[in-house]
Structure 1
Amino acid sequence: MRYLIEHETILDYPTPVREHHLELRLTPRQDAGQRLISHRIELEPAAERHSYQDYFGNGVDYFCVTAPHTCLITRLTAEVETLRENPFDFEPVPAHQQKEWYARELRQTPALYDYLLHRSSLTPAVMKLAAELDCALPRYEAEQLPLNSLLELMAWIPKVLAYESGSTAVHNDLLDAVRHRAGVCQDFAHLFITVARSWHLPSRYVVGYMDPGILAEGELIATHAWAEVLVPGGGWIGFDPVHNLLANDRYVAVAVGRDSYDAAPQRGSFKGGNAGTHPQVNLTITNQ
């Protein structure tokens, strides 16, 4: 699949702000699952752009707007070709060899421990959630292929959380979402990651875009979040518990991390007296 993505974010401030430092993680990733054909990032007011790759391999664009301003606009235009048509198309490692496969991967790539051992208020130890659940946690069946247990986990998430747009804030504590039995895509992804890590499976948070054709009735086009798990033989496989789908070529990954803090599309700081209004986001995703 080939997509043209146009993503604009407008931040308005009632009084001028200055010395505005801004980090953007908006550029789609380039890896075995997708190819970045072209991309352009624009900023108003204009500022010199600096780019680097962060610890998790995400492309980061950095700007500093020093002059006073009451509006900041960021624009991304990107063309991406997605390549993973069938996420089930791989040769699984036999169940009795899974443990050694993971041990070898962790020895060869110690950074994977970040996706295995990390705990935060967004992805806490699973037992911190147990008292708030009114259904049993899914079990990991070691004698089966991990994909089987992960598919059951994906189907279990909606039993705990109902999808309600605007029900939680950005970087919301997972325990709060579980208590209220409602959340958005980031909460669904965080809950999936929390349980998968309790099974000793390296798991990470992904933010990106999905084909508008996947959207449920009444669901608005927006950035999306899902989880990825390192699966023996398959590599990083994406799980979207909001739509009960494996991420295929209708998903465009932008940034990954241990949780949503690591993969925030936009963050920054400035000097001024007011945090401004809620961002206005204009997003179009066109299948070419």
Structure 2
Amino acid sequence: MPFLNLSHVTTYTYRQPVSFGEHRIMVRPRESYDQHLLSATLDIEPRPSDVRWLQDVFGNAVAIATFDRPAARLVFDSRIHLMHEPADLDHVDIEDYARTYPFTYSSEEIPDLLRSIERQHLDPRRQIDSWARRFVGTGQTDTLTLLSDMTTAIRREFTYVARAEKGTQTPIETLERRKGTCRDYAMLMIEAVRALGFAARFVSGYVYNPTAHDQRLGGGNTHAWVRVYLPGSGWVEFDPTNGIIGNRGLIRVAVARDIYQAVPISGTWAGFPGSFLDMEVAVNVSVAGPPPVPVSVPDQKEPVRC
């Protein structure tokens, strides 16, 4: 049960002061049984005129910031201290009827899962379908083995290449090029498991090394992976970039049906053409000790906290 310190700093720089429109910030990890926020701060420079929080349709925590003065630099500095409880393959318990593939989701669950089963990308020559079918044996196939084999196959057969540019390859491009980033791999696996009838969602968050022996790809920036719905365990994590099954080394921030619903920071600015210079992102996750235990001091009033 490691305690983690997390820093995520995004800096935009401009040639001269520009004005800023509304910005949407999604960097606060989700509260759940396996990750518990102990403290969270979000500092923004220049200071916004207003910041309000909301939960989107997927339950992600989103900050909406508005500004009333121009600046040549815009910084979002998120600092998190959380407790993380890793779970792995041994903790995946699947209902009897879903332990072998193919299976059908129950009538109670299917209405809420349908949009997560729908394909998002065209596949006119059924390339994704054919690739996904290689993990299905003749007759019935163990469900968890199928998903695990697909996860590790992407890790083993594709070349991870970091890419700072915006955008994501289509699943077919990733399949043909045999290389990509974590977000490319996530979208490929989502489309592949959806082709087999599974409900899957895109996850944006952070990756870290739980021990000195673990070396994860995708650190130093936000990370992307997949959640697949398995009756009996619910949404289970699969990280094709690192071949991880379970949440060991993975911190969830945003869960969405499509990658474009899970962008960490988005917003607008107005100024002279060519004003934008650069965007820098620095993410650091370190294993830390538990928070200090409060000590009561006699004859002193404890301040009110909220």
**TM-score class, shorter:** 0.7 to 0.9
Alignment of 1:1-288 (within 5 A): 1-47=2-48, 48-95=50-97, 99=103, 101-107=105-111, 110=112, 112-119=113-120, 124-127=121-124, 130=127, 137-140=133-136, 143-158=140-155, 161-166=158-163, 169-212=166-209, 214-216=214-216, 220-272=219-271, 273-274=273-274, 276-288=276-288
Residues of 2 paired with 1:116 and 1:129: CA distance?
Answer: 16
CA RMSD of aligned residues (A): 2.7
Structure 1 residue 115, shift from structure 2 partner? 1.2
Structure 1 residue 84, shift from structure 2 partner? 3.6
TM-score (norm 2): 0.81
Question: AA paired with 1:245?
Answer: I
Residues of 1 paired with 2:258 and 2:99: CA distance?
Answer: 29
Residues of 2 paired with 1:7 and 1:140: CA distance?
Answer: 40
**Deviations 1:246-267, CA, capped at 9 Å, x for gaps:** 1324211000112221111011
Question: AA paired with 2:282?
Answer: N
Residues of 2 paired with 1:280 and 1:96: CA distance?
Answer: 44
Give SS of 1:248's match: coil
Query: Residue 203 of structure 1 contacts residue 228 of structure 1 at CA under 8 Å; is this kept in 2?
Result: yes
Percent of pairs identical after alignment?
Answer: 23
User: Which is worse superposed, 96-105 or 35-44?
Assistant: 96-105
User: Which is worse superposed, 193-202 or 270-279?
Assistant: 270-279
Give SS of 1:71's match: strand
Question: AA paired with 2:194?
Answer: R
Query: Residue 22 of structure 1 contacts residue 269 of structure 1 at CA under 8 Å; is this kept in 2?
Result: yes
User: Which has the greater radius of gyration?
Assistant: 2
Structure 1 residue 149, shift from structure 2 partner? 0.9
Give SS of 1:188's match: helix
Query: Residue 116 of structure 2 contacts residue 257 of structure 2 at CA under 8 Å; is this kept in 1?
Result: yes
Structure 1 residue 87, shift from structure 2 partner? 4.0
Query: Residue 158 of structure 1 contacts residue 242 of structure 1 at CA under 8 Å; is this kept in 2?
Result: yes
Query: Residue 39 of structure 2 contacts residue 81 of structure 2 at CA under 8 Å; is this kept in 1?
Result: yes
Structure 1 residue 167, shift from structure 2 partner? 7.8
Number of residues of Structure 1 aligned to a counterpart in Structure 2? 279
Give SS of 1:187's match: helix
User: Which is worse superposed, 199-208 or 266-275?
Assistant: 266-275
Residues of 1 paired with 2:269 and 2:46: CA distance?
Answer: 14
Query: Residue 140 of structure 1 contacts residue 199 of structure 1 at CA under 8 Å; is this kept in 2?
Result: no
Gap runs ≥5 in structure 1: none
